[in-house]
Amino acid sequence: MKILVLALFTTITSLSIAQNEVKLKDQFNATRILENGIELYNNGSSSDAYMNFKQANVLKPGSAKNLYYLASVEFDFKSFHEAETHVTEALKLNDKKLTSDLEFLAAQIHHNLNHLDTAIVHYSNCAKIIGEKLAKEYNIPALIEQCNFAKKEQENGVQNIRQPIKEINTNYDEYAPILVQNGAALYFTAKTPDSKGDNMNPDDQSYFEDFYYSFWNDTTKTYKITYSEDQDFNTEGFDALNCVLTNGLHAYGTLNTSASKEKTTESSDIFEQTAETPFVWDAPNVMKIPGVNTSFFDGSACMSDTFMIDEYTYKRELYFVSDRRAEKSLTDLFVATETNGIWGESVHALPEFINTTGRETTPYVTEDGKLLFFSSDALPGMGGYDIYFCKRNGDQWSNPINLGAAFNTVNDDTHFQYYPALGKAVMAGISELNGLFNYNIFQMDLKGKSFPFMK
């Protein structure tokens, strides 16, 4: 009997030791996989890093560090609900080494989910931990101000009027909508599996962008995408259409083939398409204007029509985005001016009350040159990119005015275009569709409405 008991005890002890060895091995492997994932993440390989973090979380559940990185990648991928779950789990573990980072990440996630009071709490907690100086470097006061701006808009009962174009929007990114032919057709840009060349960005596994054409079906009351080989000007690189003049004789877009087999550009360049018959385009041509299409990123171009300054002077203006001043700001808005048929010898940055140290993007100037719309992530707003407008005062622009919660949200809002003759506007913005957050296209019926830019 004693021998049997001893044998049983020995077996149990051996099993316990073996199980502990397995646990220790799993923890060791989890740590190794986590560190590999962090290295991949810091090098920009987010998709590969995410797989490492998920694997490490299976081997060693309950690691605040791993949950933090899981949530970080999910936040980058705009998987805000999953990110919220993981960052909440990480906060419960109370890892003091990560507390400020966890608080800041939690604040950003709740901000993007429009949980504004919760976001303010987490931003404030982070600021208390890291101190006033670092809080300013993290831009926390401005982020709290964004939350309060959004809260005030919502408390004032401002209703968002944008409506999704459901037949165009998918679980991929669609943006840069352009209405043409009195609203009978719509151009847009998208990153979908249909992209020419099937090329993907290895870092985030998104497809290269192409632009598409769709027409309005008056029977079904929907836009339908149409394909025409003789009008397919997409390359195997990045192709975006940004502006089409009402007469259908000029269009402007951005081309970048540096990462594809064509390699016709060194970076992003602005192209022009012309047509003798409206909307029957010739092949795109990279623009040859002094100061435009440098070795820096130049893109998202929009052209005004010719407009009169006085009885002797007429102008056209090309507005675009560039990162050529990245040492002092991120991306800025620039303008090239054609006066009496001659392009100037240089381009000019818009004034600092428009260009911030953050990012300005997607300019749109009305064809009469009187209104400028653009997006910024550093001017007072609701969160992410907000849309603003300026009015022309002679040769100058007025201070930017936020379009408010009727158009903007706590996520990125961009690519606004206004069509006074149609009483419509279109835009793009990050929103939730089928549980996923990505760029979607919206239209706004402005008939009978009175917004500041319409006065």
Closest CA to 213 of 258, 170, 237, 244: 244
Contact 357, 385 (CB under 8 A): no
Residue 18 has pLDDT above 70, yes or no: no
The tens digit of pLDDT for each residue in 331-377 reads: 999 999 999 999 999 999 999 999 999 999 999 999 999 999 999 99
Between CA 51 and CA 228 the distance in angstroms is 39
Between CA 43 and CA 85 the distance in angstroms is 25
Residue 171's alpha-carbon distances to 32, 174, 190, 227, 440, in angstroms, are 34, 9, 11, 20, 9
**156 CB-contact burial (10 Å; exposed 0-12 / middle 13-18 / buried 19+):** exposed
Between CA 349 and CA 364 the distance in angstroms is 15
Between CA 144 and CA 383 the distance in angstroms is 10
pLDDT for position 244: 97
Predicted TM-score of the model (pTM): 0.91
Residue 65 has pLDDT above 60, yes or no: yes
The tens digit of pLDDT for each residue in 91-136 reads: 999 888 899 999 999 999 999 999 999 999 999 999 999 999 999 9
Summarize the confidence of residues 411-428 as an average pLDDT: 97
The H or E element that residue 188 is part of is strand 185-191
- Token pair belonging to 375: 């997006």
Which DSSP letter does residue 292 get?
S
Q: Where do we find the tokens 């670092």? A: 134
Percent of the chain with pLDDT over 70: 93
Assign 261 a pLDDT band (cuts: 50, 70, 90): confident
The tens digit of pLDDT for each residue in 67-89 reads: 999 999 999 999 999 999 999 99
Question: What are the structural domains of the chain?
Answer: 2-155 (1.25.40.10), 163-454 (2.115.10)
Residue 260 has pLDDT above 90, yes or no: no
